[in-house]
Amino acid sequence: MPAKDFADLVMLPREWRRGDDCIQWPRNHDYYNIEWLENLWKYINEKFANDLSMLENTNILYLQPLSRPLGASTANNTISLYKLSKNIGLIQLPIVPSKDDLAIQKVLLKLNFYCIEPFPEMIRRHKCIDEYVPQLSCLGLLQIFKCRLRHFTQLKIQHEFNTLLNEHDIKLLRQYLSRIMTQQLDDSNIQCIKQLPIFDNAYLNTDLNQQQYKYISLNNILYIYESGTKLPVDLQPPKQCIHVTDSDSRVLLDKLGYVIHDFTHVARYLITTIGQQQQANLQQQQQQQNSSTINTTLKNDQHKMAFLGE
């Protein structure tokens, strides 16, 4: 890049500075073409080896001309330019993706993440690039989920997982995350997994008019149990219960430090709770009846006193 290279950085095309997550750019542009982008990244690796903050929110991340993100319908005469940002949910496949990686890619696309082919080696070699665009792995997956959790409410995330994903998708996520190494589970990653609605809700809702999510997170959990059956929703206590139905859930919950109970343990709790609730309801009814009797007696006495006063 010539001596005016810094000026070139500042004078990126206006379309590259609008803040769009992804734009399509003419591959054979007279000036800002693949060759120019390659030279740009050579300069970045040399002059900005430890910091990319000056270039954030510009569309300088490019794919090789023949590469295509899954589901893209771009013409052959354009290239995809992605924004350099930690907030758009961009993640790249490994150089040689496994079948599981490709399966998870489809799930992420349903959740509106950008799961793309690997960037050119010129971009991947930058030591800071993983902070913006991680490679697909357990840790990379958690990195983009943390970004989503920072910007979306828990209710919105629960709604998206339950409406955009099917049972097979949820099982794939559990299977993929269950392979995370225990030493990788720091507090940040544990909290992230706990907020993902990827576990089976133990309560079975038969009322179609009442919204009941099939998949829930580990927040506000009373019991986690395996075997047994689903629980009637009208017995649901203030906290939720999770029904473990597969080995991947069991492995993941074990790594997170959760105790998985037998169904009989939960059944005893419910029987005890129901008995206590019934007793409390009876006491409340008796108190209401006693109060009603007292009020009636007082009213009768007042009538008598009024009559005698006359």
Reduce the secondary structure of the chain to three states and give it as a string: CCCCHHHHHHCCCHHHHCCCCEEEEECCCCCCCHHHHHHHHHHHHHHCCCCCHHHCCCEEEECCCCCCCCCCCCCCCEEEEEECCCCCCEEECCCCCCHHHHHHHHHHHHCCCEEECCCCHHHHCCCCHHHHCCECCHHHHHHHHHHHHHHCCHHHHHHHHHHHCCHHHHHHHHHHHCCCCHHHCCHHHHHHHHCCCCEEECEECCCCCCCCCCEECCCCEEEEEECCCCEEHHHCCCCEEEEECCHHHHHHHHHCCCCCEEHHHHHHHHHHHHHHHHHHHHHHHHHHHHHHHHHHHHHHHHHHHHHHHC
> To which residue do tokens 């960037």 refer?
119
**Mean local confidence (pLDDT), 213-234:** 81
pTM of the model: 0.77
Which of 111, 59, 66 has the alpha carbon at shortest distance from 83?
59
List, for residues 40-71, the tens digit of each pLDDT value: 999 999 999 999 998 999 999 998 755 444 44
- Strand 231-232 and strand 261-262: pairing? unpaired
Q: Judge whether 69 and 63 are in contact, CB under 8 Å.
A: yes
At residue 21, does pLDDT exceed 80? Answer: yes
How far apart, in Å, are the Cα atoms of 3 and each of 9, 42, 288, 298, 308?
Answer: 12, 14, 88, 99, 112
- Report angle CA 268, 273, 275 to the nearest 5 degrees: 100
Could you give the CA distance from residue 191 to residue 218 in angstroms, rounded to a whole number? 9
List, for residues 152-179, the tens digit of each pLDDT value: 998 999 999 999 999 999 999 999 999 9
Q: Is 155 left (phi over 0), alpha (psi -120 to 50) or beta?
A: alpha
Q: What's residue 138's pLDDT?
A: 95
List, for residues 236-281, the tens digit of each pLDDT value: 555 788 989 899 999 999 999 999 988 887 777 777 766 566 566 6
List, for residues 95-138, the tens digit of each pLDDT value: 999 999 999 999 999 999 999 999 999 999 999 999 999 999 99
